Chain A
Amino acid sequence: MIQVTNLSKSFENIHAVNNISFTIKRGEVFGLLGPNGAGKSTTINMMSTILKSDEGEVYINGNDIKQNPNICKQLIGVVPQEISLYDDFTAYDNLMFWGSLYKIPAKELKHKILEILELIGLIDRKDDLIKTYSGGMKRRINIAAALLHKPEILFLDEPTVGVDPQSRNRIFEIIETLNQQGITIIYTTHYMEEVERLCNRIAIMDSGRIIAQGTQAELQQHSNVKEAVEIAFQSISENQIVQLKEQLQLKISQNNLKLIIECDVNKDLSNIISACNNSNLKIEDIVVKKVNLEAIFLSLTGKQLRD
């Protein structure tokens, strides 16, 4: 559905986006994950036709965005990072305005606005001025304004910045509903838990480059980050560690009175506990270390996602 090939963009001497390529299939939720300044928004701006790339190509449903920007604009909806609404208009008037830019017949547009307001749970507040809305409610209207022309693809550029956990969950539910309705989602964020929850496939960006992409499992494989358990003991000797290694045949590393054992937690945890008992090791605490994107990002880039 979307084919991005060797896309690059520089501002003066800064390579904001540096030769990135990826493909997004219909119905996917594709995450662009990276820290601030990684080049996510620049990528979205180029894919949404408002910023010319220096090099590379973007095809949306087979349409070159440079050759057919208007066809592409009809296919996509963009939810910008900023709350781009008119504060002194009501929610309904805002949506009427943004919808009318796509020349949607008035009757159809009115119907669509009500449908979307219902979806985002703000139908009762439709006649209130945007400036009276909470941050989370504004974010939802910000999403609604990108849906009026029934886009097949929705770009969401950090749509949860500055919202409370409850509103964030509401936004996730909306995105999941939209995806279930068949809309392909491209989601940029620097919150890994959002990508973990929402995205089928992920591209990790750093300093304008895509350093890895794929499903979370593929990324895990690519990064060599393994699941592990961290077990704290009252005391531990070298002999006990050797015994444990012989019993389990797993990679074990020591950190003072803690052992970190790389394993398949679901499969190996009971064996590990039995082996500890057999070696007379008294367990004080067990922490399961699942593989997450934070760990993968750290492994791939050597820095924290929020650095």
Chain B
Amino acid sequence: MILTIFKKDIKLFFSDKRAVLLTFLMPILLISLFAFAFGGISGSRQAKKPIKLLVVDIDNSTDSKSVITSLEALSSLAIIPKEIKEATNLVRKGKYVGVLIFEKGFQDSINAGNSLPIELKYDATREIEMRMLQSVLIQNLMSTVGEKSAKAKMSSYFDENFSGMPKAMKEKIFNDMVSGNSNMSASMNNTSLKMTSITKEDTKKGNLGLIQAVAGTAIMMLLFSIAAIGGGLLDEKESGTLKRLFYSPLKPTDILFGKMGAALVLAILQLVVMFVFSWLVFGLPIFKDITALLLMILTTAFAVSSFGIFLVAIAKSRQQLQSLSTIIILTMSAIGGSMIPLFVMPAIMQKIAVVSVNYWGIQGFYDIFWRNLPLIDILPKMGVLVGIGLVMTIISIKLFKKNILKLVDA
């Protein structure tokens, strides 16, 4: 008897495609995504692309050029010379990880044995790349100008404190230090790299984690709620009220636009409530640029509600919508940075992220709260969101018309 029940349940399970999909495909998909996001894919399979680094050489000296040349020789970096203003703007907009600035007096400082005026201004939203850059740059500085700088500092130290020391003795002590035989080497090392987050300069209240949590979660949850709201159309189809609407003088597009309008308004409302809550409870500075925030909420709500309606348009029943929306929304959220911040993902994932509506929304909110970009610089992202919304709306209308006719024919 137990075996009979067992067989029946197994048979029932495999006859339910949705259950099979959710049980096997969904976890496989998410495991793959997370593994990929956290760099779990074997390094040998991934072609590592160099990190693009902007360089501003204000010193324009032999030593600064020598460092830049040695950096250019590294396969892990792609050096792009720029002017200071443009370079800083590009990093602030999130186009590049950072800009390495050789300040005036770089060479003089090496020769004098002083601290080196060299600074890496970086985008803190790309933390992993920034850490890699920091490590590569410090190693490179050590190997190119570290010895010269340390020797100059030591020489200056000896001249100050031991003016009568013979030159041969100075050389011996220095050689010992370089070969690591003396613990003085660390104290003589001037090749430190000043690290400055380019956004934190301007942000008093900025909290990357909070912005990520609010924007990422808000957009993901919005997708779920819009899919649920849009699913009302499928309920109407099943209950017969949709058919009754067709008996009235309404056009099918009237019904669709009415539904979309309701979804859009609820999406706006949901986002507003989430941001107000984040302001009240967590202190998110929502009034920093209220115009940009409102526009961002509007465009995100439009894109997300259209995407949610699109999910409804491709589903034929409430059950199908549930499976579809779970799979697609979780995938989009994982790719787009709602679940895992994009800045901890590998570069390849950050590139793939652009296919997700979540990405554009989250990045737009980063621009407002973290990068402090003016509205004009956020408009392109808003434009992408509007574009996504329009494309999804057009596809949804076509699909709905097709499905609506089917509904009546049935």
Name A's B-contacting residues (CB within 8 A): 11, 45, 48-51, 70, 73-74, 76-78, 80-86, 98, 101-103, 145-146
Q: How far is the CA of A12 from the CA of B313 in the complex (A)?
A: 23
Name B's A-contacting residues (CB within 8 A): 239-241, 243-250, 408-409
B409 A11 Cβ-Cβ under 8 A:
yes
Residues on the B chain within 8 Å of A11, using CB: 409
B244 A84 Cβ-Cβ under 8 A:
yes
B247 A82 Cβ-Cβ under 8 A:
no
Chain B's nearest CB lies how many Å from the CB of A164?
21
Chain A's nearest CB lies how many Å from the CB of B261?
16
A78 B249 Cβ-Cβ under 8 A:
no
Q: Determine which of B239, B241, B248 lies in contact with A73 in the assembled complex, contact meaning CB atoms within 8 Å.
A: B248
Q: Which residue of A lies closest to B247 (CB)?
A: A78
Chain B's nearest CB lies how many Å from the CB of A181?
21
Residues on the B chain within 8 Å of A74, using CB: 249
Chain A's nearest CB lies how many Å from the CB of B135?
60
Q: Which residue of B lies closest to A81 (CB)?
A: B240
B247 A80 Cβ-Cβ under 8 A:
yes
Q: How far is the CA of A202 from the CA of B343 in the complex (A)?
A: 74
Q: Determine which of A70, A82, A101 lies in contact with B245 in the assembled complex, contact meaning CB atoms within 8 Å.
A: A101
Residues on the A chain within 8 Å of B239, using CB: 82, 84
Helix, strand, loop or mixed for chain B's interface?
helix
Chain B CB within 10 Å, residue with most, of A77, A80, A101, A102: A101
Contact of A70 with B244 at beta-carbon distance under 8 Å, contacts A51-B409, A82-B239 already known? no
Helix, strand, loop or mixed for chain A's interface?
loop
Chain B's nearest CB lies how many Å from the CB of A162?
14
A73 B240 Cβ-Cβ under 8 A:
no
B248 A102 Cβ-Cβ under 8 A:
yes
B408 A70 Cβ-Cβ under 8 A:
no
Q: How far is the CA of A113 from the CA of B245 in the complex (A)?
A: 18
Chain B's nearest CB lies how many Å from the CB of A212?
28
B249 A84 Cβ-Cβ under 8 A:
no
Chain B CB within 10 Å, residue with most, of A50, A74, A78, A86: A50
Residues on the A chain within 8 Å of B246, using CB: 50
Q: How far is the CA of A49 from the CA of B248 in the complex (A)?
A: 10
A80 B243 Cβ-Cβ under 8 A:
yes
Residues on the A chain within 8 Å of B249, using CB: 70, 73-74, 101-103
Q: How far is the CA of A84 from the CA of B244 in the complex (A)?
A: 7
Known: A50-B243, A102-B249. 19 other contacts (CB 8 A): A45-B408, A50-B246, A50-B247, A51-B409, A73-B248, A73-B249, A77-B247, A78-B244, A80-B240, A80-B243, A80-B247, A82-B239, A82-B243, A86-B241, A98-B244, A98-B248, A101-B249, A101-B250, A102-B248
Residues on the B chain within 8 Å of A84, using CB: 239-241, 243-244
Q: How far is the CA of A69 from the CA of B246 in the complex (A)?
A: 11
Q: How far is the CA of A82 from the CA of B241 in the complex (A)?
A: 8
Residues on the A chain within 8 Å of B240, using CB: 80-84
Chain B's nearest CB lies how many Å from the CB of A158?
12
Q: Which residue of A lies closest to B240 (CB)?
A: A82
Q: Which residue of A lies closest to B250 (CB)?
A: A101
